[in-house]
Structure 1
Amino acid sequence: MKYTGYSRFIRPLLYGIDLLIVSLLTILFLSSQWVDILAIIIFWVILSITISVYSVYRFTKIVKVISLFFKQTLLMCLLVFSYFYIQENFISASDILRFFLFLLIIITFWRVILFEIFKRYRIITGSNNVYTVIIGVNEATKRLAYFFNNSPEYGYQFKGFFGEQIAPKTKGTIEDAQQFILDNNIDEIYCSIKELSNNQIKKLTEFCQANRKTIRFIADDKELFSKNLKLDYYNLTPVISLAPVPLDDPLKYLTKRVFDITFSLLVIVLVLSWLTPLLALLIKLESKGPVFFKQHRYGLDFKLFLCYKFRSMSINKEADKKQASKNDARITRIGKFIRRTSIDELPQFFNVLFGQMSVVGPRPLLMSHTDDYKGKIKRFMMRHNVKPGITGLAQVSGYRGNIAKDSDMFNRVRYDIFYVENWSLLWDINIIFKTILNVLKGEEKAY
Structure 2
Amino acid sequence: MNKQTFRYTGHASSVIYRLIDLLILAAVFVVGVKLYDVTLNSKYALLLCAYLVCYSYLAESVQLYRSWRVGRFSRMLALLALVHTLAFLLVLAALFVFKQSEAFSRAVLVGWFVGSICTLVLWRCCAKMVKTVQRRRGLAMQKVAIIGATDSGFNLFREISNHPELGFECIGFFDDRAVERLPQGVQSHLCGGFNQAVELARSGELVKLYICLPMLAEQRVAQMITELGDTTVDVLLVPDFLMKNLMHGRIGNVGDVDTISVFESPGFGIQNFYKRSFDLAFSFTVLVAISPLLLCIALAVKLTSKGPVLFKQDRYGLDGRRIGVYKFRSMRTMDNGGKVVQATRNDSRITPVGAFLRRTSLDELPQFFNVLMGEMSVVGPRPHAVAHNEEYRKQVAFYMLRHKMRPGITGWAQINGWRGETDTLEKMEMRVKFDLDYIRNWSLLFDIKIILNTLIKGFVNKNAY
TM-score normalised to structure 2 length: 0.45
TM-score normalised to structure 1 length: 0.47
